[in-house]
Copies of this chain bind each other. A is one copy, B any other.
Amino acid sequence: MQLGIVGLGRMGMNMGLRLIAGGIEVVGYDASAQARQAAQSERVTCAATMAEFVQRLSKPRAVWLMVPAGVTERVLDELLEALDADDVVIDGGNGFYRDDQVHAAKLATRGLHHLDAGTSGGVWGRERGYCLMVGGERSIFERLEQIFAVLAPGVDSAPRTDASAEIRPAELGYLYCGDHGAGHFVKMVHNGIEYGMMASLAEGLAILEAADIGNRTQDASAEVAPLHDPSAYQYDIPVAEVAELWRRGSVVASWLLDLAADALHRDASLEAFKGRVSDSGEGRWTVNAAIDEGVPAPTIAASLFSRFASQGSSAFADRVLSALRKEFGGHDELPGG
């Protein structure tokens, strides 16, 4: 089995290496010469041009895109010209699921097939395997099922829910989710949940971190409510140790907690970070989908908006609040911050 990969960044490269280790022949391509060179040095065969890339693949070709959402469109157009009928393009990036419907229709005009493959696993995927959520024509999914199986973590990566049942693809770590876009739709919601879980953890750890607030001095001013029970907040909680603790036997045990414990173990105050939290689209789309569907998603939405605020984009609204307080109460802003 053979797979072409366009986009040899962190993710694309690691997937290629896992595939090679699993016996799949891989041909890589990246517009950046530097990325190609890095890939070659890891023994990923690379083509120097898109034309050469296409030529090296046997028909019907399978090309996996692992490029930023912002450039997908351009690469797809290139491939549309270069590929032949019955070839398959798999979009493995974090694309918007509605675009898949458009992309699939466009490819179909030349007899090409499109799969969307939501891919989770991050930098750990090479070793742990990738969780794959696939949308498109079922027959095309089945044609490439071996590739998904190699990329996926496999059944042993988690205890079986029902050991007596026959093993299903979901238990191997990949799933056919439905028609065009279904894979990215499920990946989108996955990331929405990820936002909410991350924020829940982060908020909780922050509450622990501030549990000594009763020991800090406070001003008595009409502007600040005095802490009612300072004696109730005089704990110096070992936050990193708590994260480690909860990994065993607690209800919040999770891979995210494992990672939090790891990060806090190395730097309990996380001073290396500024706390400017990016968001790369799926959280937004998840909340949009909830709204379109009329399904409440207050928790996930709260986590999304906290990220926006961390990026400084609450500035105007905050100034409006300060202006209003000045207007009705003559309140000046407190110094600091």
Contact = CB atoms under 8 A, between A and B. Distances in A.
Contacts of A181: 232, 235
8 contacts: A93-B222, A159-B258, A173-B245, A196-B196, A287-B287, A295-B316, A296-B313, A309-B314
Interface residues of A, number: 175
A242 B299 contact: no
Contacts of A318: 202, 273, 275-277, 306, 310
Contacts of A161: 244, 247, 258, 261-262, 265
Nearest to A303: B299
Contacts of A224: 278, 280
A1 interface: no
A309 B249 CA distance: 30
Interface string A307-324: 111111111111111111
Given A249-B120, A299-B299, A330 B130 contact: no
Interface string A119-130: 011111100111
Interface string A254-294: 11111111111100001111111111110010111111111
Interface stretch (A24-32, A35-43, A53-61, A182-190): A182-190
Given A70-B220, A306-B298, A237 B206 contact: no
A143 interface: no
Residue from A157, A255, A277, A280 having most chain B Cβ neighbours under 10 A: A277
A195 B238 CA distance: 22
A178 to B, nearest CB: 5
A154 B248 contact: yes
